[in-house]
């Protein structure tokens, strides 16, 4: 429900107002600050209801996620999948597609990756690149399916991507449980993959932060460059704004739709790299904690801008990390507070257009000409 509202509010009320401003200016804009304050206050009220001092809660959240080198490492580690899935949602969204299928795409990428690591473990550095290439290709091709359905048959991408999520998850469950299961383990998981396929750690404290994070940053920046500075990126955006006009202008709407989905799927595959090659070193049942779906929230909090997504992903990662700390440090709050905060922030950002409108009205009443 919410994301659509965001869009209408944004475009109708403050769309143009934002278009002219850079990301940095958007972040320190007055409506944004007011929104953040409102969200923080609402979160504070929730913690008051739970009988905890809100200042204490926020300080624990902050010190838990940024208070030490290791904490920062964990925050960025948790942020990495959010950057990837945020991009996986945002890129198709710029073409007017709502990709709910990032979860399925990252599962399919994980299957492709694990297949390579499982069957070609001893090819040294080649196993590594084989696994990475398989993941990217797997994610992209799996996302291309709903893109093709949409472009050529008009099937709605929300429906097809949701359904394909189940296909990918069930397939991965089957493989983990039967074909690739480690017989020595109590839980559904594969054996540990050959060390040659591991992504090296960044050694930030004792955290599992690995080079996938760097890859995520590079991906975000390249996505931004692609969308904003290249011809093809312009075509994508144009199709997103007005498909019929773009068609008249000679752009291939079909190509743009499929391409944007493929880029989204390729981005989702980064989660598989981070979780499997970077951390667990094995494919495990439930390795993704719904990252594909959280990616939708990340993308909207980042306003669909790849650079904004980096920041919103780090914010989500910090909440995720800080929440664990909250559970240990307070008596009445659990990890679920992070989910509450996420919800509040998403709702607040959805209302940001409204805040801008109210502020504008306030300004006019004061007779402050602009």
For another protein, the binding residue among 58, 98, 226, 293 (CB under 8 A) is 58
The region of 52-60, 124-132, 137-145, 146-154 touching another protein under the rule CB under 8 A is 52-60
Is residue 226 part of the contact set for another protein (CB under 8 A)? no
Q: Mapping DSSP to helix (H, G, I), strand (E, B) and coil, where does residue 189 land? A: strand
Q: Does 67 bind another protein (CB under 8 A)?
A: yes
Residue with tokens 């752009």: 251
User: Using CB under 8 A, which of 4, 33, 129, 159 touches another protein?
Assistant: 33
Rounded Cα distance, 280 and 284, in Å: 8
- Residue 101 beta carbon to another protein: minimum distance, rounded to whole angstroms: 21
Our CB check for another protein shows the closer of 154 and 367 to be 367
Residue range at the interface with another protein (CB under 8 A); choices 2-10, 57-65, 157-165, 255-263: 57-65
Other beta carbons within 10 Å of 124: 11
Q: Which stretch binds another protein (CB under 8 A): 55-63, 87-95, 103-111, 293-301?
A: 55-63
Of the candidate residues 2, 17, 56, 243, the single one contacting another protein (CB under 8 A): 56
Task: Identify the residue among 45, 48, 159, 177 touching another protein (CB under 8 A).
Answer: 177
Indicate the residue among 120 and 285 with the shorter CB distance to another protein: 285
HSE of 35 in the Cβ direction (CA atoms, 13 Å)? 23
26 touching another protein, by CB under 8 A:
no
327 near another protein, judged by CB under 8 A: yes
* Residue 38 binds another protein (CB under 8 A): no
Please state the three-class secondary structure of 50-89 as a single string.
Answer: CCCCHHHHHHHHHHHHHCCHHHHHHHHHHHHHHHHHHHHH
Residues in Cβ contact with 190 at an 8 Å cutoff, skipping those fewer than 6 apart:
114, 118, 176, 180, 181, 182, 282, 283, 284
Query: If phi over 0 gives left and psi between -120 and 50 gives alpha, with beta otherwise, what is residue 85?
Result: alpha
Of 122, 94, 113, the residue nearest 275 (C-alpha) = 113
- In terms of C-beta density within 10 A (0-12 exposed, 13-18 middle, 19 or more buried), how is residue 16 classed? exposed
Q: How many residues bind another protein (CB under 8 A)?
A: 44
The contacts of residue 135 (CB under 8 Å, 6+ apart) are 109, 110, 112, 113, 269, 272, 273
Return the residue of 9, 18, 29, 76 that touches another protein, per CB under 8 A: 29
Distance CA 134, CA 114 (A): 9
315 binds another protein (CB under 8 A): no
Q: For another protein, which stretch binds (CB under 8 A), given 89-97, 136-144, 284-292, 297-305? A: 284-292
- How far from 4 is each of 7, 151, 260, 285, CA to CA, in Å? 5, 21, 19, 33
363 binds another protein (CB under 8 A): yes
Does the protein bind another protein through residue 368 (CB under 8 A)?
Answer: yes
CB of 127 to another protein, least distance (A): 23
Based on the shown chain and the rule CB under 8 A, indicate whether residue 357 belongs to the binding site for another protein: no
> What is the binding site for another protein (CB under 8 A)?
28-30, 33, 36-37, 40, 55-56, 58-60, 62-63, 67, 74, 78, 173, 177, 183, 186-188, 206, 208, 275, 279-280, 284-287, 289, 321, 324-325, 327-329, 334-335, 363, 368, 370
């Amino acid at each position: 429900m919410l994301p659509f509202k965001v869009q209408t509010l944004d475009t109708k009320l403050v769309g143009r107002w934002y278009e002219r401003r850079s990301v940095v200016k958007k972040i320190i804009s007055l409506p944004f600050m007011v929104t953040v304050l409102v969200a923080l206050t609402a979160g504070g009220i929730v913690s008051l209801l739970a009988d905890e001092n809100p200042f204490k809660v926020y300080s624990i959240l902050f010190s838990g996620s940024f208070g030490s080198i290791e904490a920062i490492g964990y925050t960025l580690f948790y942020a990495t999948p959010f950057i990837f899935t945020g991009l996986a949602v945002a890129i198709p969204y710029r073409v007017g597609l709502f990709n709910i299928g990032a979860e399925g795409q990252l599962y399919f990428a994980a299957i492709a990756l694990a297949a390579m690591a499982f069957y070609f473990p001893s090819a040294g550095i080649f196993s590594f690149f084989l696994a990475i290439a398989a993941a990217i290709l797997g994610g992209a091709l799996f996302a291309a399916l709903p893109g093709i359905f949409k472009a050529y048959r008009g099937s709605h991408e929300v429906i097809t991507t949701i359904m394909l999520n189940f296909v990918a998850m069930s397939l991965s469950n089957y493989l983990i449980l039967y074909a690739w299961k480690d017989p020595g383990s109590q839980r559904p998981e594969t054996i540990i993959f050959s060390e040659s396929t591991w992504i090296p750690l960044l050694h930030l404290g004792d955290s599992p932060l690995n080079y996938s994070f760097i890859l995520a940053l590079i991906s975000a920046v390249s996505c931004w460059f692609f969308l904003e500075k290249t011809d093809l990126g312009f075509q994508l955006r144009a199709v997103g704004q007005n498909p019929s006009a773009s068609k008249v202008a000679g752009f291939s709407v079909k190509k743009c739709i499929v391409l944007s989905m493929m880029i989204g799927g390729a981005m989702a595959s980064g989660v598989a790299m981070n979780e499997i090659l970077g951390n667990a070193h094995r494919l495990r049942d439930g390795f993704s904690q719904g990252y594909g779906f959280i990616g939708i929230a990340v993308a909207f909090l980042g306003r669909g801008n790849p650079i904004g997504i980096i920041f919103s992903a780090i914010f989500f990662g910090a909440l995720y990390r800080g929440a664990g700390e909250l559970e240990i440090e307070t008596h009445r709050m659990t990890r679920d507070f992070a989910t509450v905060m996420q919800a509040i922030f998403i709702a607040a950002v959805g209302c940001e257009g409204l805040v801008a409108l109210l502020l504008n009205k306030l300004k006019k009443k004061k007779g402050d000409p602009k």
